[in-house]
Amino acid sequence: MTLLIDSLLDELVTRALAEDLAGGDLTTEATIAEGERAVGRAVAHSHLVVAGGDVFARAFWGVDRGLRVERLKADGARVEPGEVLFTVEGSARSILFGERTALNFIQRLSGVATLTRRYVDALPEGSRTRIADTRKTTPGLRALERHAVRAGGGFNHRNDLGSAVLIKDNHIVAAGGIRPAVERARAYAPHTTRVEIEVETLSGLAQALAAGADVILLDNFEDAELEQAVTLAQGRAVLEVSGGVTLERIAGLGALGIDVISVGALTHSAPAADIGLDLVALE
């Protein structure tokens, strides 16, 4: 499980640090002497799944390359309230300069991982259905949030508009129907890419299957229709469910034989995980 390579993480971190520290830190500069050393402990204040240890560390290194960060919990670990996730040791000033930025990253990413884990855990035992994310990510943080989804046991959908085909309503209309839309996409897209199409009815599904779509997104289907859809498809295409999927519906959906359930909320509506930094001065 990877996050992002060093140089790309550093770009994100630099921008985030600039928001908080371009004008310095009046309080810390005024009250903490330059030579002071301390150790900080990032502690979970609720049940959560960790994600973002790499970016947490690099946020501190963007402030001061001399800080030592230790990761006690790997990304993907389930953590109880009170458990220590990471420690940071070095200049007390530097730790305070970087604290908020590092926490803002780790709280958001662990929030995404924790919510994803709830969806994944709601699947019935032995279900082979995937919980997947969408492109409804926070502008600027897509790579990090996709990583967090994986840390929570979820799967990624296509990364961007250039990495796979997903034919929607407007594309179908413009192409003159489901079959020509699938054919045009197949003729245009890289041979490494599956062709997915979104349908809203069982009849749409039948057409999409006939057109040879590899993946079919069943938009806003009810449970009964989904059962029929699985029967109809007979494994000829990967079936994805999306739209109106709440945590409560997951157990039921996971039993229907659907391949993928994609959930925008994993990234666009996950509440932040509650994580704080306890600082102790070192003499």
Could you give the residue numbers annotated as active site? 100, 136, 168, 198, 219
Selected from 56, 73, 89, 101, the binder of a second copy by CB under 8 A is: 101
SS3 47: coil
199 in Cβ contact with 207 (< 8 Å): yes
Which stretch in 15-23, 80-88, 219-227, 228-236 sits in contact with a second copy by CB under 8 A? 15-23
CA distances, 197 to each of 146, 174, 183, 188 (Å): 22, 14, 11, 15
136 in Cβ contact with 264 (< 8 Å): yes
SS3 79: strand
Decide if residue 245 touches a second copy (CB under 8 A): no
Decide if residue 193 touches a second copy (CB under 8 A): yes
CB nearer to a second copy: give 174 or 251.
174
232 in Cβ contact with 202 (< 8 Å): yes
Q: Binding string to a second copy for residues 57 to 96, with x set by CB under 8 A, is what? A: ----xxxxx--------------------------xxx-x
216 in Cβ contact with 208 (< 8 Å): yes
Intra-chain end-to-end CA distance of the chain, in Å = 38
Minimum distance, C-beta of residue 130 to a second copy, in the bound complex (Å): 7
Q: What angle do CA 64, 76, 260 make, to 5 degrees?
A: 130
CB nearer to a second copy: give 83 or 274.
274
- E strand or H helix at 150: helix 142-151
Decide if residue 26 touches a second copy (CB under 8 A): yes
Decide if residue 279 touches a second copy (CB under 8 A): yes
Which stretch in 156-164, 205-213, 224-232, 249-257 sits in contact with a second copy by CB under 8 A? 156-164
Minimum distance, C-beta of residue 89 to a second copy, in the bound complex (Å): 14
Total Cβ atoms within 10 A of residue 75: 23
Selected from 6, 70, 121, 223, the binder of a second copy by CB under 8 A is: 6
Selected from 47, 71, 78, 100, the binder of a second copy by CB under 8 A is: 100
124 in Cβ contact with 254 (< 8 Å): yes
Minimum distance, C-beta of residue 224 to a second copy, in the bound complex (Å): 24
Minimum distance, C-beta of residue 270 to a second copy, in the bound complex (Å): 8
Decide if residue 29 touches a second copy (CB under 8 A): yes
Q: What angle do CA 270, 256, 201 make, to 5 degrees?
A: 85
Question: Helix axis angle, 53-63 relative to 6-21, nearest 10°?
Answer: 60
215 in Cβ contact with 223 (< 8 Å): no
Which residues in the 125-144 window bind a second copy by CB under 8 A? 130, 132, 135-143
Which residues in the 205-224 window bind a second copy by CB under 8 A? 214-215
Decide if residue 5 touches a second copy (CB under 8 A): yes
Q: How many residues bind a second copy (CB under 8 A)?
A: 113
Decide if residue 97 touches a second copy (CB under 8 A): yes
Which residues in the 158-187 window bind a second copy by CB under 8 A? 158-175, 181, 184-185, 187
Q: Residues in the chain, how many? A: 283
CB nearer to a second copy: give 82 or 224.
82
